[in-house]
Amino acid sequence: MSVLSLQDGIIYGPIDSRRLGKSLGINLLPTGYKLCPFNCVYCHYGWTDKYWRRSGKENFPGVDEVKDALKRGLEYARECGLTIDYITFSGNGEPTTHPQFARMVEMVWVLRNGLCPSARIALLSNSALVGSGHIREAIGRVELPIMKLDVGSQGLLEKVNQPVRGTDFEEIVSGLAMIPNITVQALFLAGRVDNSTPRAVADWQGALERIKPKEVQIYTTDRPTAEGGIVAVSDERLEEIALQTAELLGVEVRVY
């Protein structure tokens, strides 16, 4: 079994998602390579081909291009009677790196309202850019922002997510704390890199206490990962982390 293939277009699916039901994906990233500010050891797309940098010049699709592709996708789904529960920003890396991410969110709202009003708009983000006010504002317009936070310290961020140089854990936590009603998702793993130890989990819970998410989702890896020597966390340990975190934060913690 190998890592997953990258998306080769702008719209993909609808796919069956454990968390989102029937999810129509929007890939705002270039095709052909993975562009991300992170290089997570567990990434199912394999290693990051190119670190995203603020100054980088990338071949992102334009707003009109994405709009046309989504319109076609939604019209096709309607003609075929396909259910779409969520229209989800995800794809070959981190969606918020698109320089016109805010305009994309507004465009999706308009198309969704006209062509598929029962679908909700979701975002799967790694949280790397939430230090920026205009990114936070755009994320705030998404109906279900699912934001990654796997760790509770700069040291483990560097080991688990291997971010681009200059990424600051404190900036991520403060940024997330400023966006209302977010869902935080965390992937726990063990083996050569381990964020499931009692100490690591306590640090992570400390960050969550500051962020005050609306909901927390935790899971472990069930596919081949970029780095070897990574193992899944047991169901019992995930349940234990969920229970402890729910009691501490007073929010729902779901295990996927």
Among residues 23, 24, 27, 38, the one that binds ligand SF4 under rule CB under 6 A? 38
Does the footprint of ligand SF4 cover residue 27 (CB under 6 A)?
no
Q: Which is nearer to ligand SF4, 105 or 149 (CB)?
A: 149
How far apart are alpha carbons 193 and 42 in whole angstroms? 10
Among residues 23, 27, 48, 195, the one that binds ligand SF4 under rule CB under 6 A? 48
Of 43-51, 81-89, 100-108, 243-251, which segment contacts ligand SF4 by CB under 6 A?
43-51
Shortest distance in whole angstroms from residue 160 CB to ligand SF4: 9
Does the footprint of ligand SF4 cover residue 127 (CB under 6 A)?
no
Does the footprint of ligand SF4 cover residue 126 (CB under 6 A)?
yes
Among residues 13, 14, 30, 93, the one that binds ligand SF4 under rule CB under 6 A? 93
Query: Which structure tokens are listed for 147?
Result: 């934001």
Maximal CA-CA distance, the chain: 52
Calculate the CA dihedral of residues 196, 130, 108, 51 and round it to 10 degrees. Answer: -80
Q: Which is nearer to ligand SF4, 39 or 217 (CB)?
A: 39
Helix 198-211 and helix 169-177: axis angle, to 10°?
40
Calculate the CA dihedral of residues 30, 219, 187, 126 and round it to 10 degrees. Answer: 40
DSSP 8-state code for residue 132: S
Shortest distance in whole angstroms from residue 74 CB to ligand SF4: 25
CB 138 within 8 A of CB 173: no
Query: Which structure tokens are listed for 214?
Result: 């609306």
Does the footprint of ligand SF4 cover residue 196 (CB under 6 A)?
no
How far apart are alpha carbons 205 and 210 in whole angstroms? 9
**Which residue in 172, 242, 256, 229 sits closest to 42, CA to CA?**
229
Of 42-50, 60-68, 112-120, 164-172, which segment contacts ligand SF4 by CB under 6 A?
42-50
Shortest distance in whole angstroms from residue 50 CB to ligand SF4: 11
Of 10-18, 36-44, 50-58, 65-73, which segment contacts ligand SF4 by CB under 6 A?
36-44
Shortest distance in whole angstroms from residue 78 CB to ligand SF4: 30
Sign of CA dihedral 229, 234, 239, 244: negative
Among residues 6, 11, 26, 40, the one that binds ligand SF4 under rule CB under 6 A? 40
Does the footprint of ligand SF4 cover residue 188 (CB under 6 A)?
no
Does the footprint of ligand SF4 cover residue 28 (CB under 6 A)?
no
CB 117 within 8 A of CB 85: no
CB 48 within 8 A of CB 9: no
Does the footprint of ligand SF4 cover residue 36 (CB under 6 A)?
yes
Would you tell me which residues interact with ligand SF4 (CB under 6 A)? 36, 38-40, 43, 45, 48, 93-94, 126
